[in-house]
Structure 1
Amino acid sequence: MTQTAHNGQERLPPTLLTGQEPDRVLLAHFETYGGIIKDTEREMKEGKKVVLDCLAKTMVEMRDKEDLDDPDMAILASTFMIGGAETTAAIMQWFSALIPVYPEIQNQPRKNSILLLDVTISLVSKMNKICLTAMLSLKRSREFTIHSGWYIPKETVVVLNTWTMHYDPTRHSNPETFDPDRYINDPLTSAESANVANPMERDHWMFGAGRRICPGMLVAGREIWLSISRMLWAFDMYEIPDEPIDLK
């Protein structure tokens, strides 16, 4: 019923987005990600070792069926590989800022490994909830429809107001308080939570919803979990004396 509405960045010249000449940007993409495709294709042809299932292998196998050329595959590879790098880094930056302000939270997992797992899972949910890398998600209806009594004309832009839903006091009291314990008894990962029957029971909507939900959600969730758990295990994080961290 819906598809992603056009992003503003699609209407801007590449030079405004990157500060570089578009030819240089494209060439760098093709050399880096196109090289991965070519290496995979060469290994498949040589048959010297088993090529593990991956996006590059799938694209090589479906090249003719899907009429994919080298630029197509390079762009697809770059989209899947770097699409979430910046957003994941932003979440970890917020984590690094929040934990020193709440030292009692980082001290909890040190008691035992089971608690480390529980606290890490709850922290992942909480970080994804409060550290929004995209406060709004724009969808566009492809045809007229009626949903929950609402008449939605064709070509209507429907806004998924992630910020408002995450800070809805009817779901959690004091939603702006950093309290990972809200999720301490919720064993579901973000991907599992996205599949619950009642969408209002989801832990968060940072990865979107419906058919256009982020395809990299599983990878992002695992990467964030690994990063948070290892930082909690390895480091003591504190504010610098007389230099409080401003979270506003």
Structure 2
Amino acid sequence: MQQPGYFAEDVLPLLASLPTWPQPSRKGATRDAEWILWVKMRMWNRLKAQFTGIIESDFKEQGLEEEDLAWIAGGLVDAGSATSTANFHNIVLYLAACPDVQATAAKEIAAVVGDDRAPAMSDVSPLPYVWACIEVLHRNTMPPWAIRHFTDADVTHKGFVSPKCPAVVCDTVALQFDEERYPDSFAFRPERYLGHTEFAGDYAAMADAQPRDHWTFGAGWRVCPGTRPAKSNLALMLANILWAFEIRPPTGAEKGGKGSAIDLSDDAFDMYPLRQARPFKAGFCLRLMLQEGLTVEAAF
């Protein structure tokens, strides 16, 4: 649904000017919209009592309806769950392909956490290399071209006038893969970000954009509100994975038991609606059983 050209009206905008009955996508879009709203309202009706405790009680006086609040509440879940799942798949792919990065992160985790317990959220801050691994992942912007926003008034910036209504897109690809700023920019090199110890939202709030770690969470007024839980949760997930497992490329009898090469090219990822690794296999070896040579192969 989010792919370019899914609706014919996106390809030929003049079709949207027709009366509703001959518009080719109207029937399907209406059906999809009704189903999505049903899901949102079902969630909202279950969470209404808890959610209204953290929002203004006079929402109707502010021009909001319960459908609006259902979209707000549902958006918090949609935006966080799908992107975190995609990032989890991506990091497993990168770790399987980059054993040196994995070894450095695992060594840091072992030094800070030890073998007696699993990492907790309080352990995340003292793990700068793990933190840096998450920064590298965030450069692979989940919505590949970021999220479009629409201006509600004419905007003038440095003499250039952008009229009301057109979509404004942050060109994250050009910013985050600039070879002058990041030599060998497509390589998975967490050490680039060892100096970035703050949350993305903190950098986004700075007047100077140069120190920013990345633009994955947006720019300007509409920066994603979930920057802190997103990064913290991903770092905790990564720490727990590497505390327990060593991730390896898949093995195959046709290769004499040797690991297969891991594809990290653009062909290894779906581009829409999220930049997520396509199905792949990886070997998980429990660190406590490394001496036994036991490996479990999992499909993602």
TM-score if structure 1 supplies the norm length? 0.76
Residue matched to 2:262: 245
Letter in 2 for 1:104: D
Asked whether the equivalents of residues 145 and 171 of structure 2 are also in contact (C-alpha less than 8 Å), the reply is: yes
Q: Which moved more, 1:118-127 or 1:68-77?
A: 68-77
Question: In the superposition, relative to structure 1, how do residues 59 and 145 fare at CA in structure 2: closer, same or farther (>3 Å)?
Answer: closer
Contact 1:34–1:73 (8 Å) recurs in 2: no
- 1:49 aligned residue: none
The one of 67, 83, 90 aligned to 1:87: 83
Structure 2 residue 30 is the aligned partner of structure 1 residue 34: no
Residues in 2 aligned to 1:180 and 1:232: alpha-carbon distance in whole angstroms: 15
Letter paired with 1:183: Y
Tell me the equivalent position of 2:174.
164
Alignment of 1:115-134 (within 5 A): 117-134=127-144
- TM superposition shift of 1:60: 6.9
Q: Whole-Å Cα distance in 2 between the matches of residues 24 and 157 of structure 1? A: 26
Which residue of structure 2 lines up, in the alignment, with residue 203 of structure 1? Answer: 213
Give secondary structure in 1 for the equivalent of 2:128.
helix
1:69, distance to aligned residue in structure 2 (A): 4.6
Q: Residue 186 of structure 1 aligns to which amino acid in structure 2?
A: H
Supply the distance in 1 between the matched residues of 2:240 and 2:29 (Cα, whole angstroms).
Answer: 37
Question: 1: distance between equivalents of 2:207 and 2:236?
Answer: 28
User: 1:126 is aligned with what amino acid?
Assistant: V
**C-alpha deviation, 1:239, in angstroms:** 0.5
Of 91-100 and 106-115, deviating more is: 106-115
Deviation at 1:74, TM superposition (A): 2.6
Q: 2:179 touches 2:185 (CA, 8 Å); kept in 1?
A: yes
Cα displacement (A) at 1:13: 5.6
SS at match of 1:83: helix
Query: Is residue 71 of structure 2 the alignment partner of residue 75 of structure 1?
Result: yes
Residue 175 of structure 1 aligns with an amino acid whose one-letter code is: S
Contact 1:120 1:229 in 2 (8 A): yes
In 2, the alpha carbon distance for the partners of 1:21 and 1:32 equals 17
Contact 1:63 1:69 in 2 (8 A): yes
Deviations 1:101-150 (A, max 9, x none): 11111111324228961111111111101354332443434333432343
State the SS of the aligned residue for 1:165.
helix
After superposition, the Cα gap between the structure-2 partners of 1:233 and 1:97, relative to the gap in structure 1 and judged at 3 Å, is: same
**Aligned residue for 1:143?**
153
CA-atom RMSD, angstroms?
A: 3.1
After TM superposition, the structure 1 = structure 2 runs for residues 157-196 of structure 1, keeping only pairs within 5 Å, are 157-196=167-206
What are the ranges of 5 or more consecutive residues in structure 1 without an aligned counterpart? 1-7, 41-54
Q: Which residue type is aligned with residue 237 of structure 1?
A: I
- Conservation of the 8 A alpha-carbon contact between 1:134 and 1:206: no
The one-letter code of the counterpart of 1:35 is: R
For structure 2, the residue ranges without an aligned partner over 5 or more in a row are 1-5, 11-24, 113-122, 266-300
Task: Kindly provide the amino acid, as one letter, of the partner of residue 32 in structure 1.
Answer: M
- Alignment partners' CA distance in 2, 1:15 and 1:92: 32
Q: In the alignment, does 2:240 pair up with 1:230? A: yes
Secondary structure in structure 2 of the residue aligned to 1:177: coil
- Give the AA of the match of 1:125: E
One-letter amino acid matched to 2:46: G
Offset of 1:228 from its aligned partner? Answer: 1.7
Question: C-alpha distance in 2, partners of 1:160/1:181?
Answer: 25
- Cα contact 1:140–1:157 (8 A) shared by 2: yes
Partner of 1:5: none
Question: 1:21, CA displacement in angstroms?
Answer: 6.1
